[in-house]
Structure formats: C-alpha cells, structure tokens
Amino acid sequence: MVDKNNTKILAKDVDVFYSEKQALNKISMDIKEKEVTALIGPSGCGKSTFLRCINRMNDLIEICKVSGSIKVDNEEIISSATDVVSLRSKIGMVFQKPNPFPKSIFDNVAYGPSIHGLADTKSDLENIVITSLKKAGLYNEVKDRLNEPGTSLSGGQQQRLCIARAIAVNPEIILMDEPCSALDPIATAIIEELIDELRLNYTIIIVTHSMQQAARVSQKTCFFHLGELIETGDTNKIFTNPDNTKTQDYITGRFG
C-alpha cells in the first residue's frame, strides 16, 4: 500500500508569462497522491494556467512561456527533453466545456487506447471501453447506443463521456478545468459523486469557481489570487479557519 502522503506533483517557483504579462508568480506547491486538490480563486487569478502547466497544454499557446520546475513522480516536466505525449497519456484532462469528438460514443472512448496501442484485439478494446464507461458511471445509460454520436448525449453525459475518454488510457492524474461550469445542478451532483469515487484510484486536481464544490469534493485546497498562491492547506482548515485574510475575504464572498 502506497503511503497516503506520497507527493505526486511537486511544483517549485513556477513563473508563467503571456508575452510580457506575468500570469503566475513563483508558484510552489506539492500535490499528494490519490487526493482531490481544488484550485480556487477569482477569474484571471492563474489557476487554470497552473493546471495547464501540469500537462504542458500551455505549449499550444504560442506566446506562453513557462519557467521553474514541476516534477511529476520526481521527473522534471518543464524541459524541452520531456516526452509530452507520454506525459499527457499519464495525465488525463477534462475541460470546462464537454468536448466529445464528432465520433460515436464507442470511438470517443476507444480513441486514446487505440492511438497508444493499449489493446491488441478488438475484444480487448471493447473491454477497455466498457470498463472506462462503467468507471465514469455512464455505461448503463449508453450501453444500447454505443454507435450513436457522442454529441447526441446531454451535457452532463457528454462530460462523463469525456471523463471515460480520459481514464481509458490509464492515467494516474486527472486534471479537471471547471468540469461542471456548463452543467445543471443535477448533472453537477452526479459528476461530484463520480470525482469522489475516482479519488480512490487517481490523483485529481480540479479548478472550480464554486467554493461549495471545492468544499464538497476536495481534501486539499489552494487559493490563488492575482497570479500568486496565497494559501494552501486542508480543505477543512481553509474553509473554516484560513490563515490569510485574503482567503477569508474570498471564501466569505467579500470579493471575487
């Protein structure tokens, strides 16, 4: 059994610049294995930017420059030598807006395993797809229509499809960028339950605007403000007795 307090991700002095504008300033934190860590803070505080550093998604933005050090399983990832493809197969990502591919439900989930060659036979692939859909709590709803387009599902189902798609490649970490902001309260509740289950097997980092959500699903909470990490700690502590007055002001709704 792995020690509960094993560090999975260790960030040290991470700076991010968009052209001249500094978006993150000397962020250092460690994220524990098999816990849910919530990143909270007002809009534009850099929490999504930090999330996207972890799987190098910021590479897609031409003007974005990242410096500092992020170690995943003790391996440096902010380096030109990093194998981004294998890094991303180890770190799944779920986006703000559900983004199923314009393919069938089955092909959406099978996409990752087939490009990484995880399945040797067709039945292997089917197994992976079905297991992933079950883990994402979607299988019972879609088992009779796996060949219908993924875009035909409801918003909440689409988001769970995207989670199934992410876990189909056996990631160790799942990044969630405001996964519920486009969903209604019922779909949100289902996803939150799902996050709680997934915690047993995955390290989850979730960016959220909803403080209730952070309080409900996370064990650790990090509060960002204006590109700086203001406070980090156990969720219970942050929400009941924060050290910093800014954190206090934000969680009590005085700004943000």
Partner 1 sequence: MFFWSIVLILIGIYSSYIFGQSRIKKLVYSTNLKPKSQYNYHAQYVLSWCLLPALIVYFSWAVFEEQIIQNLILDSFEYVEGAAYDDGLLLAEIRNVANNTDFSEGKSKEIINAASQYKSLKLTSEISFYISIIIIMVLGSLYAVRKINIQFNAQDTIEKYIKYILIFCSSIAVLTTIGIIFSLIFESFRFFSQVSIFEFLFSTEWYPFIPIREGQAAAEGSFGAVPIFAGTFLIMIVAMCVAAPIGLLTAIYLSEYASQKVRKTVKPLLEILAGIPTIVYGFFAFVTVAPFVKSFGQSIGIDASPTSALAAGLVMGVMIIPFISSLSDDVINSVPQNLREGSLGIGANKAETIKKVILPAALPGIVGAFLLAISRAIGETMIVVVAAGTAANLTANPFENVTTVTVQIVVALIGDQEFDNPRTLSAFALGLVLFVITLSLNVLALRIVKKYRERYE
In the complex, the residues that contact partner 1 under the rule CB under 8 A are 55, 57, 60, 62, 85-90, 92-93, 95, 97, 99-103, 111-112, 115-116, 151, 162, 165-166, 169
DSSP 255: -
Give the residue ranges of DSSP H helices in the chain.
47-54, 84-90, 105-115, 122-135, 139-142, 155-167, 185-198, 211-217, 235-240, 245-251
Q: Smallest gap, in angstroms, from Cβ of residue 158 to partner 1?
A: 11
Quote the least distance from Cβ 43 to partner 1, whole Å: 18
**Which is closer to partner 1, CB of 100 or CB of 227?**
100
The pair phi, psi for residue 154, each rounded to 5°, is -75, 170
* Phi and psi at residue 136, to the nearest 5°: -85, 5
Sign of the dihedral defined by the CA atoms of residues 114, 118, 120, 124, in that order = negative
C-beta of 137 vs 171, nearer to partner 1 = 171
Complex with partner 1: residue 150 or 227, whichever CB lies closer: 150
∠195-88-16 over CA atoms, to 5°? 95
CB of 100 to partner 1, least distance (A): 8
Tokens of 254: 């005085």
Q: How far apart are CA 82 and CA 18, in angstroms?
A: 21
**Of 149 and 233, CB closest to partner 1:** 149
Nearest residue (CB) to partner 1, 71 versus 116: 116
Which CB atom, from 55 or from 208, has the smaller least distance to partner 1?
A: 55
Instruction: State the CB neighbour count (10 A cutoff) for residue 107.
Output: 18
**CB-based contact 5:48 (threshold 8 Å):** no
